[in-house]
Amino acid sequence: MGRSGNKWEIQGEKGANLFRGGSTINLDAKGRLAFPTRYRTVLDERCQGRVVLTVHDDRCLLLYPFPDWDEIERKLVRLPNQDKRTRTLQRMLLGHATELEIDNSGRILIPPRLREFAGLDKRVVLAGLGNKFEIWNEEAWERNCVDWVSAESGGAELPDSLETLTL
């Protein structure tokens, strides 16, 4: 993996920029989130400012550049939905998916029902997680960070997929 020259972005295997790092951001009175400058060019180049926002069962929002979401959506639609968990996942992710355009000021308007789902008020955390962002209520993020650290120090077994990861 090569670096892009920006400490908050890394190059993926196919040269696509990945997102990392976190920012605390104030939503404006209309519920608009202004992306930090370091992400704006990447989002414009990668998806021409088109993104998709949906929900996660951790009570946060997931934000994908449109090309990444398009691939996920195709996979979700193809899943057989006889299984209740599959139907629930499809309903949650697809049923809340909202396509948004980043405006000329680098902002998106988070729809009220998505803000309500995630408990977003004024201060939010934008966390870059590779090909997507998570958007959290700042207080929920802080509480969950404590819980995540506590869970890791509890000696729980690592999933097989993480056994070979060296940090």
Cα(154)–Cα(19) distance, rounded to whole angstroms?
Answer: 29
Q: Is residue 59 part of a domain?
A: yes
How many structural domains comprise the chain?
1
Measured in whole angstroms, the distance separating CA 32 from the mean position of its chain's CA atoms is 16
Q: Is residue 3 part of a domain?
A: no
Q: Is the pLDDT of residue 152 over 80?
A: no
Sign of CA dihedral 11, 71, 107, 48: positive
Q: Is residue 2 part of a domain?
A: no
At 149 the pLDDT is 74
Tens of pLDDT along 112-129? 999 999 999 999 999 999
The whole domain housing 31 covers 9-153
> Residue 3 — pLDDT band, cuts 50, 70, 90?
very low
Grouping H, G, I as helix, E, B as strand and the rest as coil, residue 38 is helix
Give the CATH number for residue 31: 3.40.1550.20
Q: Is residue 16 part of a domain?
A: yes
86-111 b/e (C-beta count within 10 Å ≥ 16 → b): eeeeeeebeebbbebebeeebbbbbe
Q: Is residue 162 part of a domain?
A: no
Q: Is residue 4 part of a domain?
A: no
Amino acid, res. 39: Y
Task: Answer with the residue of higher pLDDT: 12 or 141.
Answer: 141
Q: Is residue 42 part of a domain?
A: yes
Q: Is residue 126 part of a domain?
A: yes
At 166 the pLDDT is 53
